[in-house]
């Protein structure tokens, strides 16, 4: 009986392991549910890992568990879209405990403890804090390019300093917006052709300060992922944002309703293995 149970456990583990690798030939975007904050994992078919933001300082265990379940031990790129606590709070522990190659932030400093912790973690690992701004690009591999659309200059408002980037993967466009606001959106629509974005990470947890009518109309995303906390004090996502997304045919999918979100792409379509509400 004990041998049978052991065999069943081994078979189950093999099935789970195969399930983890089943979609490794696709690009995958993981919106990790860290409550009222942002943390996004992007995995390429070439086994490159990009982490965008790191939740607040209470979410490290959530992020660590998620990364380990997905067999992530190294991060090729870590991007702190801006310096607010709910985006960089756990990045110091992530950098301290994972093999990180490069770290990017806006060209800005802050006098907060969470920014100091981030800087100290980078110093401990002998990592430079690199900066990204409008017009920069990073070639991830032959089929994947990261193009930075914002910020063009540093302002007093952290949200308006958010690194906004479009990830081009073959024929697909994935737009990641941090907590950018209306002024950023106006500048981006004036500077870039944003039509036919396939995937949008909705800015600022679905706040009405972003995702303006003209921006969503120009981008015309098919999928709009929203990271926000369950029954959060800010009322995110705001109804006006959801209405705008619906108006232009974007399917809004939220972490406060669905938990972790995972999307896959072969470069010509985006799909998920789950039926999100």
Q: Give the three-state DSSP class for 137.
A: strand
Cβ neighbours of 2 (radius 10 Å): 6
Is residue 18 assigned to a domain?
no
Strand 164-169 with 129-131, pairing = unpaired
Q: What is the pLDDT of residue 3?
A: 38
Is residue 7 assigned to a domain?
no
The model's confidence at residue 21, banded by pLDDT at 50, 70 and 90, is: low
Q: What is the pLDDT of residue 174?
A: 98
Percent of the chain with pLDDT over 90: 91
Q: What is the pLDDT of residue 135?
A: 98
Q: Which residues form the domain of 263?
A: 24-271
Is residue 267 assigned to a domain?
yes
Q: Average of pLDDT values for 48-57? A: 98
Model confidence over 55-110: pLDDT tens digits? 999 999 999 999 999 999 999 999 999 999 999 999 999 999 999 999 999 999 99
The helix (run of H) or strand (run of E) holding residue 105 is strand 99-105
Is residue 277 assigned to a domain?
no
Helices (H), the chain: 2-21, 60-69, 85-88, 91-97, 113-124, 182-191, 213-219, 239-247, 255-258
The model's confidence at residue 22, banded by pLDDT at 50, 70 and 90, is: confident
Asked if the model's pLDDT at residue 207 lies above 60, the reply is yes
Is residue 12 assigned to a domain?
no
Mean pLDDT of the chain: 93
Q: What is the pLDDT of residue 277?
A: 94
Please name the residues in contact with 239: beta carbons below 8 A apart, sequence gap of 6 or more: none
129 vs 106: CA distance, rounded Å? 9
Look at the chain and report how many structural domains it folds into.
1
Is residue 147 assigned to a domain?
yes
Is residue 197 assigned to a domain?
yes
Is residue 19 assigned to a domain?
no
- CATH code: domain of residue 88: 3.60.15.10
């Amino acid at each position: 009986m004990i041998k049978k149970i052991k065999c069943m456990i081994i078979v189950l583990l093999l099935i789970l392991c195969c399930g983890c690798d089943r979609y490794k030939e696709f690009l995958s975007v993981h919106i990790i549910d860290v409550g009222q904050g942002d943390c996004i994992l992007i995995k390429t078919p070439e086994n490159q890992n990009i982490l965008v933001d790191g939740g607040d300082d209470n979410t490290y265990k959530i992020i660590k568990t998620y990364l380990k379940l997905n067999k992530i031990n190294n991060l090729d790129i870590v991007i702190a879209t801006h310096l607010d606590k709910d985006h960089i709070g756990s990045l110091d522990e992530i950098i301290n405990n994972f093999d990180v190659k490069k770290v990017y932030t806006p060209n800005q400093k802050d006098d907060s403890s969470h920014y100091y912790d981030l800087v100290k973690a980078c110093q401990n690992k002998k990592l430079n804090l690199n900066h990204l701004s409008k017009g920069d690009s990073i070639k991830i591999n032959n089929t994947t390019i990261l193009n930075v659309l914002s910020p063009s200059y540093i302002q007093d408002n952290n949200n308006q300093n958010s690194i906004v980037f479009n990830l081009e993967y073959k024929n697909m466009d994935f737009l990641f917006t941090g907590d950018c606001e209306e002024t950023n959106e106006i500048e981006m629509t004036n500077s870039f052709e944003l039509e036919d974005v396939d995937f949008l990470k909705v800015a600022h947890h679905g706040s009405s300060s972003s995702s303006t009518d003209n921006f969503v109309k120009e981008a015309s995303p098919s999928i709009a992922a929203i990271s926000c906390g369950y029954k959060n004090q800010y009322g995110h996502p705001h109804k006006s944002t959801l209405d705008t997304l619906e108006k232009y045919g974007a399917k809004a999918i939220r972490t406060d309703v669905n938990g972790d979100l995972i999307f896959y792409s072969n470069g010509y379509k985006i799909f998920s293995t789950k039926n999100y509400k």
